[in-house]
Every structure is written in structure tokens, then in C-alpha cells.
A = this chain, B = another copy of it.
Amino acid sequence: MPNAHDVLFRTLADPTRRAIFERLCREGEQTVGALTSKSGVSQPAVSKHLGLLRQAGLVRDRHEGRQTHYSAQLGALSPLIDWTSQMAGFWETRFDDLEDLLKRMDQ
């Protein structure tokens, strides 16, 4: 049972997949065809990546006739932001502890 961080890191770890997500962030909603033409891999590969991005909550799909439009869901990045600031928080806490220790030793 992978947690939210697992899914996010794993999903964004692949360069091709992350490039697709970045493009959606930069340029907004796009069809599978448009994404495929700039991706360097085949259409099925792109579809598979989009499926994983959707499972991770990183993109939304919208069907319109026979084409599917995908767009980035930026809110899905929150756990990642939380994680990094948490790590930074631990760091600072330990640093503060060290400062305290040094201060006490100084007395």
C-alpha cells in the first residue's frame, strides 16, 4: 500500500512522463495527439503515461467527441511541497538543538 509521496515521486521520476506534465503546466490543456507529436514516443506510450498521471491525481481528462483533452491538476503537488518543507523543518530543528547544546556548553 504505497502512500501519497510514493505515488507522486514514482510518477514524476520518469523523464518522458514528467515532460508531459510540465508541458501541461506550461501550456495548459492539450489533446493526446498534440502531446504525442512533441513527446518523441508513440501514442500508446503517451496514453499509458497519461493514465499513470491521472491515477496519481496529477492530471484531469475531458472527453470531447473522439478526442481527449488533458490538463494539469496542480493541487496534486501539495504532498510533495509538504514533504520537502517537512524535511527542511527536521533539519532546522536539529540545527536549533545543536545551537542550544553549544549555548549550554558555552556557559
Which of B9, B15, B25 lies in contact with A18, CB distance below 8 A? Answer: B9
Inter-chain contact A77/B72, CB cutoff 8 Å: no
Copies per complex? 2
Chain B residue at minimal CB-CB distance from A2: B15
Which of B18, B74, B84, B90 lies in contact with A91, CB distance below 8 A? Answer: B74
Contacts of A52 in B (CB 8 A): none
Contacts of A9 in B (CB 8 A): 9, 12-13, 18
Size category, A interface? 20 to 34
Q: Which of A72-91 contact B (CB under 8 A)?
A: 72, 74, 77, 80-81, 84, 87-88, 90-91
**Does A63 make an interface contact (CB < 8 A)?**
no
- Contacts A9-B12, A9-B13, A28-B94 given; 13 further ones with Cβ under 8 A? A2-B15, A6-B13, A10-B13, A13-B13, A22-B87, A25-B91, A27-B94, A72-B91, A74-B87, A74-B88, A74-B91, A77-B87, A80-B80
